[in-house]
Amino acid sequence: MSTWLITGCSTGLGRALAEAVIGAGHNAVVTARDVAKVADLADSAPERVLPVALDVTDPAQVASVVQRAGERFGGGPDVLVNNAGYGYRAAVEEGDDADVRALFETHFFGTVAMIKAVLPGMRARRSGAIVNISSIAAAVTPVGSGYYSAAKAAIEGMSRALRGELAPLGISVTVVEPGAFRTDFAGRSLVQSATVIDDYAATAGQRRKENDTMDGNQAGDPAKAASAIIAAVESGDPPGFLLLGPDALGLYRYVADARAAEIAKWEQLTGGTNFD
């Protein structure tokens, strides 16, 4: 039995993961901004489930949830899953500065705050696992999702460095890049800019909520994604990078191949920049 702390458990992948962790017999600290939305997760195993209100942009709540986890389950979290977040769509020029900063506060700085809160305990125990939920958008960077892709890319860059820093201490770090899963990410959880510029109608405009047909039609099963994450964490050698979904795999390979081809095309120019 281990103790999992999962952010953003009210719906979607976070809720599916919470249910799977509880079903596997682990302790679970399940969080949401509105604790009432996760209170029912404790019904089946109240002795192993602690529902807590958590806004990852609130330092006091971040510190409190880690402290309460330790008090309730006799030690800090063994596994932290940074899942809290939401989608944001806008052409880069359309994006509102306040909206973009709020996006990064939740996705990137909220993730960092949670990591910093659990690491003292994990370092003391010389064990632990950190799972940071990213998105295939970090690799594909679709038009209309530039800011969301940037926030996830920031998480990935930080996570790769963190993995190297923590490996000698017995703590793993895994970035998860899901493809399209049947959650409300493209529905209730999707925010977009109020500004609409007609020149982007054929590009970013096609990804605005009113033009999106993805919601409810995604092929990915959140329950299977949750099982895959648990399997990776419990493998004994968790991966640094994990794609989830055949769509994510196909898209990632396409992007990697295209980048390799472009590197090769410009290789002569690239290699000619040293002093003679």
- pLDDT (0 to 100) of residue 256: 98
Catalytic residue among 2, 10, 134, 135: 134
Catalytic residue among 152, 159, 193, 200: 152
- pLDDT (0 to 100) of residue 88: 95
Cβ-Cβ contacts under 8 Å for 84 (sequence gap 6 or more)? 7, 8, 14, 31, 54, 56, 106, 110
The answer to whether 193 is a known catalytic residue is no
Look up residue 48 and give its amino acid: R
Whether the CB-CB separation of 28 and 18 falls below 8 Å is answered with: yes
Whether the CB-CB separation of 74 and 27 falls below 8 Å is answered with: no
Catalytic residue among 88, 147, 148, 252: 148
Torsion (CA) 244, 246, 248, 249 in degrees, nearest 10: 100
Distance CA 174, CA 129 (A): 8
The answer to whether 116 is a known catalytic residue is no
Look up residue 2 and give its amino acid: S
Please provide residue 177's backbone torsions phi and psi, each rounded to the nearest 5 degrees.
Answer: -110, 95
Distance CA 33, CA 65 (A): 12
pLDDT band at 184 (very low <50, low <70, confident <90, very high): low
Tens digit of pLDDT for each residue in 28-84?
Answer: 999 999 999 999 999 989 999 999 999 999 999 999 999 999 999 998 899 999 999
Buried b (16+ CB within 10 A) or exposed e, 226-242: bbbbbebbeeeebeeeb
The answer to whether 134 is a known catalytic residue is yes
Taking CA atoms, 176 is separated from 192, 239, 244, 249, in Å, by 24, 9, 7, 12
Whether the CB-CB separation of 93 and 77 falls below 8 Å is answered with: no
Pairing of the two strands 3-6 and 79-82: parallel
Helix, strand, or coil (residue 227): helix
Tokens of 72: 């309730």
pTM listed for this prediction: 0.94
Whether the CB-CB separation of 87 and 125 falls below 8 Å is answered with: no
Query: What is the DSSP secondary structure assignment for residue 30, as one 8-state letter?
Result: E
Chain center to CA of 172 = 16
Whether the CB-CB separation of 245 and 178 falls below 8 Å is answered with: yes
Tens digit of pLDDT for each residue in 130-153?
Answer: 999 999 999 999 999 999 999 999
Pairing of the two strands 190-192 and 171-178: unpaired
**In this model, does residue 201 exceed pLDDT 70?**
yes
**In this model, does residue 22 exceed pLDDT 80?**
yes
- Tell me the percentage of the chain whose pLDDT exceeds 90: 89
Among the listed residues 148, 108, 168, the one whose alpha carbon sits nearest the alpha carbon of residue 132: 108
